[in-house]
Structure 1
């Protein structure tokens, strides 16, 4: 617990924001699972939504996913929950708007896949429900539903 608090304090110090600060604003939505946010001091940093993986830029449904996320977070105060960083230095977070988890909504509406290493049973259930209801990406023909991690692997060659 102490280690987690130390990490959280370090994140806030690096971002130039006070630890007591609870709300942020989105400056730019990059895609369906990452964005640039800002605190009231004006310092911005990149975040990535934890436990989800949205379509990549050139992938089918990418703009739909990004636009859906943008609609939910732009011009609204957001709360960030999480203190870990990914290999690119992005803060991995759950985003809350008006008490709702944006991460969960993105999966429930079929706007993203559950991250393949996610251990969240709730996210798994939300994805299965969206798939069964053919929501969002699940309404696409199967040939266009390539998981983002597979899409990135194919493009790396």
Structure 2
């Protein structure tokens, strides 16, 4: 960290895969918010690093991404209908509410008649 490049798995959410509907929009959205900026990472819900890093099986650091404008990328993705609140690993009410609002407003993935969750899409591709 401290100015070094880091591969991050976005904590509390899951987004469409590249080849899935909205996959390229997710990448562009995140890039528009992050590219060329210094961001901070929030670990385990704490803005100050407490020494407890979590990694996924692909050795990506699991964190929320704090943007220079004070917004959290993970929440912006869900709010804009470009990500699912990953309820299997999170019971965060803020993320749940953002997802419900995006669904009700039929934003992004929720504009599709039958959006497929990324974990289901990945599972179907393995078969």
- TM-score band by shorter chain is 0.7 to 0.9
Q: Which of the two has higher C-alpha Rg?
A: 1
Unmatched runs of 5 consecutive residues or more in structure 2: 44-52
SS in 1 for 2:77: helix
Paired residue for 1:146? 116
- After the TM superposition, which parts of structure 1 deviate over 6 Å for at least 4 consecutive aligned residues? none
- Return the structure number with greater strand share: 1
**TM-score, normalised via structure 1 length:** 0.70
- Return the structure number with greater helix share: 1
Paired residue for 1:36? none
SS in 1 for 2:81: coil
Unmatched runs of 5 consecutive residues or more in structure 1: 1-16, 25-38
Cα distance between partner residues in 2 of 1:120 and 1:146: 21
Highest relative contact order (Cα 8 Å, sep 6+), 1 or 2? 2
Cα distance between partner residues in 2 of 1:50 and 1:149: 14
What does 1:7-156 correspond to in 2, within 5 Å?
A: 17=1, 21=2, 24=3, 39=4, 44-82=5-43, 83-97=53-67, 98-117=69-88, 118-142=90-114, 145-156=115-126
